[in-house]
Amino acid sequence: MAETWRIDLVVPAAAVAVFETALDGLCDALACFEIEDAGPTRGQWRLEGLSERAPDHHALTLALALAARAAAIDEPPVTLERMGPRDWLRDNLATFPPMDVGRFHLRGSHVTDPPPPGRHALIVDAATAFGSGEHPTTRGCLLALDALARHHGTRPRRVLDMGCGTGVLAMAAARAWRRPVLAVDVDDEAVRVAGDNARRNGLKGFVRALRADGFRGAAVRAAGPFDLILANILARPLTAMAPAAARALAPGGRIVLSGLLAAQETRVRNAYARQGLHLRWRLVIDTWTTLVMARR
Ligand SMILES: C[S@@+](CC[C@H](N)C(=O)[O-])C[C@H]1O[C@@H](n2cnc3c(N)ncnc32)[C@H](O)[C@@H]1O
């Protein structure tokens, strides 16, 4: 069992994405949730990072100072706590209850009850990659997938999950449509986890996980054009990717965009509108927006 360091800070909702990015390389796991208790921090967001290495103080201080400047807020107070030896991953698994999102039923591998009938069951453990299904952005994408499958008669032939994390969206698409899905991530660990999850869920024949930085790279180009692209990343990379994403989209294709806070929505929508895509569906969960945009 490893020793664990915990980093804890509270920031306004609009600063969450910037601080998440800043802490990304400094923590093994990062959780963000809105504070609902009464008190002066109500409505703000708590970021809780866990690391199995002692955090590099200099790197942490610098990352937080830059994030505060980028978010135009004062540097938030940070608690750094050394916790006793603890298998936090196992603890985390045990507290992750099964979850229904639309017709998708997500559960950790520790749950042994049979899944409810009529649902697309997926085993996804809270692990070293993002995408257990708990975050509003993942839920937004799953609900968008469900709506596309249920109401729009969409049956995409080729699907891309850009920034796949655990592969949860790729697997959900494969379950819903029984179609091949390319799942890519810039993070090698996420690619490994997504591949393992596809195998564990019996979807190895449908989901192919590989490393790619955005739409660069021959494998992504060769697998397109896509009828459906799922991209739950962050507003800034999504905006930068708009031209490449639009090129990779087949005529009539749709793209699901998430990872953007309400205040960032217009910028992202405009970036895709400039590529000839228009809004078809929109969902806000907490302060996170999910968009479905389509090529005319
Ligand atoms: C918010 S997580 C989404 C995970 C999962 N798709 C979900 O919906 O829960 C974003 C993922 O995008 C990946 N990512 C960030 N920038 C990327 C890029 N330029 N190319 C590919 N993946 C990227 C991150 O490594 C991370 O795994």
Choice from 169, 185, 258 to test ligand 1 binding pocket (greatest atom count within 8 A of CB): 185
131/139: higher pLDDT: 139
The CA distance from 219 to 50, in Å, is 33
- Ligand 1 neighbours, Cβ below 6 Å, are 129-131, 137-138, 141, 162-165, 168-169, 184-187, 190, 212-214, 232-233, 237, 259
Is residue 2 scored above 80 in pLDDT? no
Tokens of 108: 């950790």
φ, ψ for residue 265 (rounded to 5)?
A: -60, -45
80 domain residue, yes or no: yes
Task: Give how many domains the chain has, as a whole number.
Answer: 2
Predicted pLDDT at 89 = 57
76 with 115, same domain? no
Cis before 225 (ω within 30) = yes
Mean predicted lDDT score pLDDT of the chain: 88
205 with 231, same domain? yes
Tokens of 283: 């969902």
144 with 245, same domain? yes
131 with 262, same domain? yes
260 domain residue, yes or no: yes
**Confidence category of residue 195, pLDDT binned at 50, 70, 90:** very high
Quick check: 144 and 256 in contact, CB under 8 A?
Answer: yes
For ligand 1, atom 4, name the residue with the nearest CA: 165
Say what the pTM is: 0.73
Using the 3D structure, point to which of 32, 64, 86 is the last residue of a domain: 86
Predicted pLDDT at 55 = 82
81 domain residue, yes or no: yes
Full residue range of the structural domain in which residue 43 is found: 4-86
For ligand 1, atom 1, name the residue with the nearest CA: 233
Using the 3D structure, point to which of 60, 86, 112 is the last residue of a domain: 86
Using the 3D structure, point to which of 86, 108, 135 is the last residue of a domain: 86
185 with 263, same domain? yes
210 with 277, same domain? yes
Ligand 1 mean position, distance from CA 84 (Å): 31
46 with 110, same domain? no
73 with 207, same domain? no
The CA distance from 46 to 60, in Å, is 17
